[in-house]
Chains A and B, each alone.
Chain A
Amino acid sequence: MCLAIPARVVQINEQSLGLVELGGVVREASFMLLPDALVGDYVLLHAGYALQKVDEAEAEETLRLLAEMAEAGRAEA
């Protein structure tokens, strides 16, 4: 039940409502819990609410560590 999915913000109106895109599907979302989200941001969407921005720099850093692991993994294979 605690699933939250990364979605791209497409539109936000003044009532804290907007649209997000998830894998090609556009749906309504509330930004009441994340008022500083901007169009183009990726947010974690849960039960129709944006809960947090996905931190792109942190994602890149994790992926860099994982790429090192992948190098090690290819050496093991």
Chain B
Amino acid sequence: MVRYVQEFHDAAAARGLTAAIERITSRSVNLMEVCGTHTVAIFRHGIRQLLPPPLSMLSGPGCPVCVTTNADIDKAIALAEQPGVTLATFGDMMKVPGSYQSLQQVKADGSDVRVVYSPRDAVCMARDNPQRPVIFFAVGFETTVPTIAASLLEAEALGLKNFYLISVHKLIPPAMRALLEAGEVSIDGFICPGHVSVVIGSQPYKFIPQQYGVPCVITGFEPLDVLQGIEMLLRQIADGRAEVEIQYRRGVRPEGNPLARELVSRVFEETDAGWRGLGRIPSSGLKLRPEYKRFDAEETFAINPPPTKEHEGCLCGDILRGVKTPPDCPLFAGACTPESPVGPCMVSSEGTCAGWYQYGSR
């Protein structure tokens, strides 16, 4: 038995929570989860089917793989194609199509592209191969950024001269603001991402209830966590309250992990970033600070990626904003499947399209 996992799968408690949810759902309510790990948890555990019909679950832009733009993937591919370099990244990035090809395809064509579990593995690769530049294609939200900052500081402490980053990190609260500002979908409550919040705490979401009147509950990822998070959101709505509450109290402290944030801000500074579907969002990305520029792959290698293009007919952008659902897309489950994906939402194991394809009705 894995501790702190199985206890949160109890069927009787799920029935109790579902009954409580049914009792307090009096009108039509849209709840949005903004984390791909929640999207998968909700599908995998059949949570949509347990909820009463007036309650709709929307999936937001919460998968770092999915929101990475074609332009950024094209850049990583151009870097991987430099002679004599190794490009390392997380497994989910391999199959994501850029404008013309994916990292998996350039690997098949002979480039040295490696999948790592931890950014530390890429640092070790650089340490063990001092003659070979190792570029880490760094994607991820606030959960992952501290691990990359820590790895970079480790590379610095080791005196490595052959470790580089492409930083396409994204920050979640600015994307939530962009969704609310766009006003394309009506959102009555946010299921806030548990593991992002392990790092950032509850403070960065406060503008959402304060300025937009939308309740937030920071939620864990086991099925009972998700049901309890939904029940807490509905209770806020029923009471006419809007605040940031923490359901996932065993992992999230209100102050987050200050040391992790300190390491991040030592290495990175905020910058505007391009998101697939959402466009450019102010201060929603992270770039290396000037004193760490020597680790910046784009500063070191002269690359000239081809002009970017979007995939015709692909609705990933609308799906990431919660405006459309996968069955609305003409490519879904026909031209676009997990075996032969067109858009990133079908590639990523946490993509909304992959979730619908695997667990939903087609």
* Chain A residues proximal to chain B, CB less than 8 Å: 1-4, 6, 8, 22-23, 30, 32-35, 42, 44, 46-49, 51-52, 54-56, 58-59, 61-63, 65-74, 76-77
Q: Which residue from A32, A46, A73 sits with its C-beta under 8 Å from B14?
A: A73
B140: Cβ under 8 A from any A Cβ:
yes
Alpha-carbon gap, A76 to B144, bound state (A): 41
Name the A residues within 8 Å of B252 (CB-CB).
52
A to B CB contacts below 8 Å, 16 in the list: A1-B139, A2-B143, A2-B193, A3-B221, A30-B118, A33-B146, A42-B4, A49-B146, A52-B252, A52-B257, A59-B4, A62-B228, A66-B7, A73-B15, A74-B12, A77-B15
Would A51 and B260 count as touching, CB distance under 8 A?
yes
B288 within 8 A of A: no
Binds A, one of B195-203, B289-297, B305-313: B195-203
5 further A-B pairs in the complex, CB-CB below 8 A; given A51-B199, A68-B16: A1-B144, A34-B259, A54-B251, A62-B250, A73-B14
Which residues of chain B are near A33, meaning CB under 8 Å? Answer: 146-147, 150, 257, 259-260, 263
Within the complex, which residue of B65, B117, B250, B348 is in contact with A54, where a contact is CB–CB below 8 Å? B250
Name the contact of B195 in the complex, choosing from A2, A23, A70 (C-beta under 8 A).
Answer: A2
Contact with A along B148-180 (1 / 0, CB 8 A): 001001100000000000000000000000000
Q: Is the beta-carbon distance between B228 and A66 smaller than 8 angstroms? A: yes
Residues on the A chain within 8 Å of B18, using CB: 73
Contacts of A69 in B (CB 8 A): 12-13, 16-17, 20, 228
A6 to B11, CA, bound (A): 21
How far apart are the CA atoms of A8 and B259 in the complex, in Å? 21
Which B residues are within 8 Å of any A CB, using their own CB? 2-5, 7-8, 10-20, 35-37, 62-65, 90, 92, 117-121, 139-141, 143-144, 146-147, 150, 153-154, 193-196, 198-199, 221, 224, 228, 247, 249-253, 257, 259-260, 263, 348, 350
B144 contacts A34, C-beta separation under 8 Å: no
Distance to closest chain B CB from A48 (angstroms): 3
Is A71 a contact partner of B263 (Cβ separation < 8 A)? no
Instruction: List the B side residues contacting A1 at CB < 8 Å.
Output: 36-37, 63-65, 90, 92, 139-141, 143-144, 348, 350
Q: Specify the chain A residue showing the minimal Cβ separation from B62.
A: A2
Question: Which B residue's beta carbon lies closest to that of A35?
Answer: B259
Residue of B with least CB distance to A22 = B2
CB distance from A21 to the nearest CB of B (A): 10
Are the C-beta atoms of A51 and B2 separated by less than 8 Å?
Answer: no
Judge whether A55 and B251 touch: CB under 8 Å: yes
Decide: A55 near B249, CB < 8 A? Known: A2-B196, A33-B146, A48-B117: yes
Pick the most buried of B14, B147, B193: most chain A CB atoms within 10 A of its CB: B147
> Would you call B199 and A73 a contact (CB within 8 A)?
no
| Residue contact A42 to B3, C-beta cutoff 8 Å | yes
Closest chain B residue to A72, Cβ basis: B16
